[in-house]
Amino acid sequence: MKIDRVELREIQMPLVHFFETSFGRTTTRRIVLVRVDANGVTGWGEVTAGEAPTYSYETPETAWHILRDFLIPWTLGKAWETPAEIAARFRPIRGHNMAKAALENALWDIAAQWQNVPLAKLVGGTLAEIPCGVSIGIQNSIAELLEKVEGELAAGYQRIKVKVKPGWDLNILEAIRTRFPRIPLMADANSAYSLADIAHLKEFDRFYLMMIEQPLGWDDLVDHAKLQREISTPICLDESIHTADDARKALQIGAGKIINIKLGRVGGFTAAKQVHDVCRARNVPVWCGGMLESGIGRAHNIAVSTLPGFTLPGDVSASKRYWAEDIIEPEVTVSAQGTIHVSQTVGLGYTPNLKRIEKLTVRKESFE
């Protein structure tokens, strides 16, 4: 099969509510979409990079550059059988996993349509329904945070994750535990602490969290291993895991007990499956992280979440938590039990809304 055409476009989508982490606040997402046409079939991918290089070094601009100048020329007009072959072709490029994932995942969408199966099935998924949690950003006040937690629990979500940073950590966890003593709760620090904070991080143990996500350096494994020996709360790694080898090394040295898999961060479905397999072989649970995706990235997240090792609720939630109107039809909805029913239709499982996408587009470039 041959790729006839690739189109890059940047869309801008305002969030219904700002999203704040320890590295800053986002109000409007800039999302690069990749559309691929091959043998009369269209596939879509999404670059999940943040607007600023604060979660990782990638941005919409770096992804556009890497796609336009390297990844697209390397794939356009070339023959391929499986998306994994394309992933292998991208290997000489160091990093830039979010750019790679956007293109590779579009090919998975195409491959699923060629084979007449749902994307989840092609990926190797087995779950028909996936458990969902929510990620709640830093709020303007504790009262607003408690209100949000209450609303998400009422909507049925199976676990609550809250963003923490120095000054917005023990106080908010105390407030949540006082009001909701038994809910499945976790915290995500996005690298806001260092080993100098060990005594402080030990205090998290009294809130019996399911896990604490990426407390230390965004590129660290060694210090996380030291911290994990000192605290009883399980550490979940996010930012530090980019490959299956990273996962193997992290688990080997005890840097954490759980891994968050993000398609963009690891470079697409091929690598995500490898990270999943490394963890599953060691009985280490994984879950799917989110990057404030539009419906296209969200649909990919749902597909990867059907792999059998995804035993914990992920940050895969309803479209309406982020968007007044999503770019897919139907929008992603979550059941009263806090689950998403996996679409059994061929391909992505959702239809990109071309009119809506066109309206949100601020630039596009196509390659034949």
Which residues are catalytic, by number? 163, 262
Give 3 or 149: the residue with its C-beta nearer to ligand OSB: 149
- Binding of ligand OSB by 207 (CB under 6 A): no
Exposure b/e, 227-245, CB count within 10 A at least 16 = b: bbeebebbbbbbbbbbbbe
* Binds ligand OSB (CB under 6 A): choice among 60, 83, 131, 290: 290
User: Within 13 A of 8's CA, how many CA atoms are on the CB side?
Assistant: 24
Give me the residue whose beta carbon is nearest to ligand OSB. Answer: 290
CA–CA separation, 111 and 348 (whole Å): 10
- Binding of Mg ion by 246 (CB under 5 A): no
CA–CA separation, 92 and 159 (whole Å): 39
- Binding of Mg ion by 20 (CB under 5 A): no
CA–CA separation, 13 and 127 (whole Å): 31
Question: Which stretch, 95-103, 203-211, 236-244, 299-307, contacts Mg ion (CB under 5 A)?
Answer: 236-244
* Binds Mg ion (CB under 5 A): choice among 188, 220, 246, 293: 188
Query: Whole-number minimum distance, CB 214 to Mg ion, in Å?
Result: 5
Query: Whole-number minimum distance, CB 188 to ligand OSB, in Å?
Result: 5
Query: Whole-number minimum distance, CB 6 to Mg ion, in Å?
Result: 30
- Binding of Mg ion by 238 (CB under 5 A): yes
Q: Is 367 helix (H, G, I), strand (E, B) or coil?
A: strand
Q: Which does 135 bind (CB under 5 to 8 A by kind): ligand OSB, Mg ion, none?
A: ligand OSB
Beta bridge mates, 329: 351
CA nearest neighbour of 272 among 108, 129, 37, 112: 108
Residue entry with tokens 């090919």: 107
CA nearest neighbour of 130 among 301, 295, 269: 301
- Binding of ligand OSB by 289 (CB under 6 A): yes
Give me the residue whose beta carbon is nearest to Mg ion. Answer: 238
- Binding of ligand OSB by 135 (CB under 6 A): yes
* Binds ligand OSB (CB under 6 A): choice among 44, 55, 90, 350: 55
CA–CA separation, 255 and 250 (whole Å): 5
Provide the CA 348 distance to its chain's centre, in angstroms.
16
Residues in touch with Mg ion (CB under 5 A): 188, 213, 238
Residues in touch with ligand OSB (CB under 6 A): 21, 50, 55, 135, 188, 190, 238, 289-292, 315, 317
